[in-house]
Chains A and B, each alone.
Chain A
Amino acid sequence: MKVYADNAATTKLSEKALAAMMPYLTETFGNASSLYDIGQQAHHGVQFARQTVAEVIGADTNEVYFTSGGSEADNWAIKGVAEVMAKKGKKHLITSAFEHHAVLHTMQKLEKDGFEVTYLPVYENGIVKVEDVKNAIREDTALVTIMYANNEIGTIQPIAEIGKVCHEKGVIFHTDAVQAVGHLPINVKEQNIDMLSMSGHKFHGPKGIGALYMRKGIRIPNLIEGGAQEAGKRAGTEAVYAMVGMATALKDANDNLESNMKKMSALRDRLIDGLLKIDSSRLNGDRNCRLPGNVNISFEGVEGESLLLYLDLQGVSASSGSACTSGSLDPSHVLLAIGLPHEVAHGSLRLSLCEANTEEEIDYIIECVPPIIERLRSMSPLWERIQKERGNA
């Protein structure tokens, strides 16, 4: 059996999205800025896409700017606000310890440029405390950026409350909602969100397209100078097929939001319960406040890369936060941020589901994992040591 369970990394392009994209890759190839018919048809594609994205998140059409993806939207939002606010003497930024690298590395760059950054703790459950945000805001705070839902452990943050605190103090609030858009109900106005990043390939849209929502009234420097595209803020001939593909996928996800969430949470809970039966395992991140498709479990005494490659040999695609998988030297900063010891973080497995997964697939995973864990533990000197320490040897 083949089971794709790495939907937090990327998703399969939906058939609807592909069908909607095809005309713009074939007959309707015009430049959306051209005045003749196929140009105007392309222009309508762009309009449809912008309007659809805006409607789904409760924004106005002219508050949506297309980008190449989530990383670009994060970079643009954060660096843009930082640059504008620095001129007003505000050089303090607030974020969390477990953001995606698109945010964290941007913060590190700004630190080098003389900004001060507060990294809020996320505690054992992987959730930022609103109180901490409130206490961290200063006179010179330029921006608060907290992700909507974490990409590794799936924990959902109290976005509306954080936004409220920011607004009370007059600070701009950005959220990296790449893992949340298309998976959770979002309304930027009701949730006090000033800026939001999203990415098409996380909800069955194409790769290489995303968007930044920016509330009317917020001004940041243009990202790319050139033509009048994206209100002159991000020039370049539009990739109409990608915009239309993303919007179509998003609309589909939104139309089926409730039933998808219900279905996925049931699959997720079945998978969590099945895997937690394994000795010395733990669920990472809050059990309830998590994305409908996210499962992240650590198994003591095993190393994550071996685990996921043995799973791959059985047809299951997953991911891990071990150092060995990242090619870097430390295990995932997310798992360290929720207080996991290094050796437990190395043994983590992330399975991220989508609505196309079935109960049979979940049961297949539940069947595959225990013998692999057993096999890895039987050859693990670390497991031997753990057993000795517990007096089991």
Chain B
Amino acid sequence: MEYSEKVMEHFARPHNVGKIEDADGVGEVGNAKCGDIMKMYIKVDDGIITDVKFNTYGCASAIATSSMATDMIKGKPVSEALKLTNKAVVEALDGLPAVKIHCSVLAEEAIKAAVKDYYDKNGIEYDKELFKEDSCHYEHHHDA
């Protein structure tokens, strides 16, 4: 197993690490038993994600995908952030080892969870289909 230079860069010096105390949305996914938890904080202004921070407990690829994913949604409209796929994050990192793909799924789900929290808190209507309990990618981490 080998990490790309991009992954190592984002792992060695991750961007957007931290918390936002007065966040507009917070999402947490993963669990300690599996060895990974990702927590995302977003600040939204006029439908635009003006700031985003993360806290991650997990492997190098979990930290690198958190860093890359937060970079990719910063300054973007919320609706666009929702479209971010783990595949796009993996590509931006020049790939991940196959056994590490689930860590990138976690990043996608953490962003979705933060946006959902923002929608819920602000009474914004949304298509429930977008947030289906879709953690099956993740669950197989458990028992595969």
Residues in A lying within 8 Å of B, measured CB to CB? 301-303, 305-306, 309-310, 313, 322-325, 327, 329, 331, 342-343, 346, 376, 379-385
Contacts and interface: CB of A to CB of B under 8 A. Distances in A.
The 5 closest A-B pairs by CB, nearest first: A324-B59, A346-B35, A343-B32, A305-B59, A380-B57
Contacts of A379: 14, 17-18, 54-57, 63
Contacts of A342: 32-35
B129 to A, nearest CB: 28
Interface in B1-38: 1, 11-12, 14, 17-18, 28, 32-38
B36 A380 contact: no
Given A329-B143, A329-B144, A381-B39, A302 B57 contact: yes
Contacts of B63: 306, 379
B34 A329 contact: yes
A301 to B, nearest CB: 7
Contacts of A306: 11, 58-60, 62-63
A343 B35 CA distance: 6
Contacts of A380: 37, 55-57
A383 B58 contact: no
B96 to A, nearest CB: 12
Given A329-B144, A380-B55, A305 B37 contact: no
B117 to A, nearest CB: 15
Given A342-B35, A381-B28, A303 B59 contact: yes
Secondary structure of the B contact surface, majority rule: mixed
Contact of B11 (A309, A325, A329): A309
Contacts of A301: 57
A303 B55 contact: no
A322 B103 CA distance: 14
A23 B90 CA distance: 50
Contacts, number: 74
Interface string B111-136: 00000000000000000000000000
Given A329-B144, A346-B35, A376-B57, 17 more contacts: A302-B57, A303-B59, A306-B60, A309-B60, A310-B12, A322-B35, A324-B35, A327-B1, A343-B35, A346-B32, A380-B56, A381-B37, A381-B38, A381-B39, A381-B57, A382-B32, A382-B37
Contact of A329 (B28, B54, B142): B142
B47 to A, nearest CB: 27
A303 B58 contact: yes
Contacts of B55: 379-381, 384
B35 A303 contact: yes
Contacts of B38: 381
Q: Which of A325, A346, A381, A385 has the most CB of B within 10 A?
A: A381
Contacts of B99: 327
B57 A382 contact: yes
B29 to A, nearest CB: 10
Contacts of A385: 32
B1 A343 contact: no
A383 B142 contact: no
Q: Which of A301, A313, A327, A379 has the most CB of B within 10 A?
A: A379
A326 B39 CA distance: 24
A323 B34 contact: yes
Contacts of B143: 329
Contact of B36 (A303, A309, A383): A303
B34 A303 contact: no
Nearest to B30: A381
Contacts of A343: 32-33, 35
Contacts of B60: 305-306, 309
Contact of B56 (A305, A309, A313, A381): A381
B83 interface: no
